């Protein structure tokens, strides 16, 4: 009787979470909130600047609104969407001597970073918006709206700082791969052929 029961019992392994993982890998957008905020604050600042006369006749109100949107964009891109969508982050740190150092990081494994669509959204938003603010700079300068020029310069500086930081992260990521490969090959050469190095000495 026990033999018939053991023959009928089938060993079934349950893979908990694999369906969710497969769905996450095939999804076009893994981080919808980060993607939305990446575009929302950027586009919101541009629209608020363009439609500032419709929102309010007060320069101060429009200035504060656009500046708030630009600041939220700077923070969210630097601290959230860059890390989640492309696996890059940067920051500025000050050491004990008071020296300022820029730190650029790239995530080693891109498993948890964004999909191809999210990466394209990230880079397009990151590159196009500083160009838009640069166009605003020239139109504001040539139309002699000097009070708006300050806001446009702030917009350019915040957008360009994020662009610079992420381009440096991306360049550092591409530089580290050949360094790691050459260091590994050098170590393997020393391990495999120590007689060449120590034979000379």
Which of 19, 18, 17, 35 shows the shortest CA–CA distance to 115? 35
If one compares 117 and 22, the residue with the highest pLDDT of the two is: 117
In a domain? residue 11 = no
Q: Indicate the pLDDT class of residue 180, thresholds 50, 70 and 90.
A: very low
Place of tokens 């702030």: 154
The pLDDT of residue 178? 47
- What's the rounded Cα separation, in Å, for the pair 27 and 114? 10
In a domain? residue 180 = yes
If one compares 24 and 129, the residue with the highest pLDDT of the two is: 129
In a domain? residue 19 = no
In a domain? residue 1 = no
* In contact, 92 and 100? CB cutoff 8 Å: yes
If one compares 127 and 9, the residue with the highest pLDDT of the two is: 127
Give the count of domains, the chain.
Answer: 1
Instruction: Give the H/E segment covering residue 106.
Output: strand 100-106
In a domain? residue 147 = yes
User: Is residue 88 scored above 70 in pLDDT?
Assistant: yes
In a domain? residue 4 = no
In a domain? residue 164 = yes
Angstrom distances, CA of residue 131 to CA of 2, 122, 125: 76, 15, 10
pLDDT-wise least confident of 32-36, 108-112, 190-194:
190-194
Q: Indicate the pLDDT class of residue 52, thresholds 50, 70 and 90.
A: confident
* In contact, 37 and 81? CB cutoff 8 Å: yes
- What's the rounded Cα separation, in Å, for the pair 110 and 120? 15
Q: Indicate the pLDDT class of residue 197, thresholds 50, 70 and 90.
A: very low
Contacts of 137 (CB under 8 A, 6+ apart): 149, 152, 153, 156
Which of 47, 95, 72, 101 shows the shortest CA–CA distance to 162? 72
Domain containing 75 equals 28-186
Contacts of 4 (CB under 8 A, 6+ apart): none
User: How much of the chain, in percent, has pLDDT values that exceed 90?
Assistant: 44
Angstrom distances, CA of residue 71 to CA of 64, 77, 107, 133, 156: 10, 10, 25, 14, 12
If one compares 103 and 24, the residue with the highest pLDDT of the two is: 103
In a domain? residue 66 = yes
């Amino acid at each position: 009787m026990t033999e018939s029961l053991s023959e009928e019992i089938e060993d079934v392994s349950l893979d908990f979470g694999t369906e969710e993982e497969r769905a996450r890998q095939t999804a076009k957008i893994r981080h919808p909130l980060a993607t939305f905020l990446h575009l929302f604050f950027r586009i919101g600042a541009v629209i608020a600047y363009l439609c500032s006369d419709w929102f309010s006749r007060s320069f101060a109100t429009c200035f504060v609104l656009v500046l708030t949107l630009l600041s939220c964009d700077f923070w969210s891109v630097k601290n959230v969407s860059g890390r989640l969508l492309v696996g890059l982050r940067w920051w500025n740190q000050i050491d004990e001597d008071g020296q300022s150092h820029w730190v650029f990081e790239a995530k080693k494994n891109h498993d948890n970073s964004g999909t191809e669509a999210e990466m394209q959204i990230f880079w397009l938003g990151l590159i196009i918006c500083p160009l838009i603010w640069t166009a605003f700079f020239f139109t504001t300068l040539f139309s002699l709206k000097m009070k708006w020029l300050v806001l446009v310069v702030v917009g350019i500086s915040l957008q360009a700082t994020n662009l610079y930081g992420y381009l440096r992260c991306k360049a550092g990521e591409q530089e580290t791969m050949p360094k790691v490969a050459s260091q590994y090959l050098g170590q393997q050469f020393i391990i495999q052929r120590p007689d060449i190095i120590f034979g000379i000495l």
